[in-house]
A = this chain, B = another copy of it.
Amino acid sequence: MTSNSIRQKEIAEKTGYSINTVSLALKGSPRISEETRLKIMECARQLNYIPNVVARSLVQKKTNTIGIILTELMNPILTETAQEIEQLLKQAGYNMMLMITNFSPEQEAEALDVLVSRQVDGIMMYPLVRANFSKIRAMHDQRFPIVLLAGGEYDSPSDAVYMNRQAGAYKAVSHFIQDGHRRIGFIRGAMNDEEKQNGYTSALQDNGIDFDPGLVSIIQGDGYKAGYASVQSLYEKGKATAVLCSKDHIALGAMRWCREQGIRVPEDIAFIGFDDIAASSFADVPLTSVQYDVKSVTKKATELLLKRIEEKEHKVGAPLQKIAIDPKLIIRQS
């Protein structure tokens, strides 16, 4: 695009060879003699030749671009996810087109369309809701490589790699129960926390504890503030002695409130969060947390996606694959 943009044509004219020879020489084809190859390479270097990947993509039907669709970036899990994927893809010779949906089903659908029209070789996405599952299923059925980064509870319409959130919640609640807790609260977001709640309720059930809707609090907005504001009702209303929070931020906010009220953690009330963010280990009372293993998820997901792309190139069929990664409970003092 730069004004001095030079193409293979120019270096062909300059060296006296045909465009074809230039093309072959530049990619080091053995069919070109060492001598002319060097001559051409040297000329290309002097003219500062930069290949036009768009043209190459058109003829090769391959862009070496992967689309990434995330609901947001400010969530530390997704921040790390994006960064890890970028690194892994780069190592494999791919680049990344990033799309943020802001939790909007319309933007999610739009992102899928845009990426397809841009001929990306594959898509990784952190899906929002079921809203676009039919679309995703259709793409998968047409053998478009698409890997979801979540999808435990539901019938994934495509390949998926995910942390088993339900198992994580189950582990956390079981840990509370082992410590003697019977009245266990749960603070969760309005969306996307169904799996965690399933783990919460089934752990209660398996231990013969009745589910009390009054011990579940659904919050909105910033986790820290909402945790700070919502824990009071659980503490007073049901006298919960332990609270599972669907995010560490929520737990940290709640613990802040407790400290200000002179309520001791974990003696008076215990907490477990999700995701094991950095701040959790540094909290006044280091927070026990269900770890989200970003590196494992992104690694598996990238491997799976690249495998799908390769399979497609070789027209190999393969069944839908779902990879669940079991979270660890990082036990600290809360």
**Partner-B contacts on A (CB < 8 A):** 1-4, 50-55, 57-58, 61-63, 65, 72-74, 76, 79-80, 82-83, 86-87, 90, 95-100, 102, 113-114, 116-119, 121, 139, 142-144, 222, 224, 253, 256, 278-279, 282, 284
Contacts and interface: CB of A to CB of B under 8 A. Distances in A.
Copies of this chain in its oligomeric complex: 2
B54 A58 contact: yes
Given A51-B117, A119-B52, A1 B144 contact: yes
Given A256-B282, A279-B279, A73 B82 contact: yes
B142 A53 contact: no
Contacts of A102: 87
A279 B279 CA distance: 9
A2 B142 contact: yes
B142 A3 contact: yes
Contacts of A142: 2-4
Interface residues of chain A: helix, strand, loop or mixed (majority): mixed
Contact of A53 (B86, B117, B282): B117
B86 A79 contact: no
Nearest to A48: B138
Contacts of A63: 54
A286 to B, nearest CB: 12
A96 B97 contact: yes
24 contacts: A1-B119, A1-B144, A2-B142, A2-B144, A3-B142, A50-B117, A52-B119, A53-B118, A73-B82, A74-B76, A74-B80, A74-B83, A79-B79, A86-B99, A87-B102, A95-B97, A95-B99, A95-B114, A96-B97, A96-B98, A96-B99, A97-B97, A253-B282, A256-B282
A54 B57 contact: yes
A95 B98 CA distance: 8
Nearest to A4: B142
A1 to B, nearest CB: 6
Contacts of A116: 2, 50
B117 A52 contact: yes
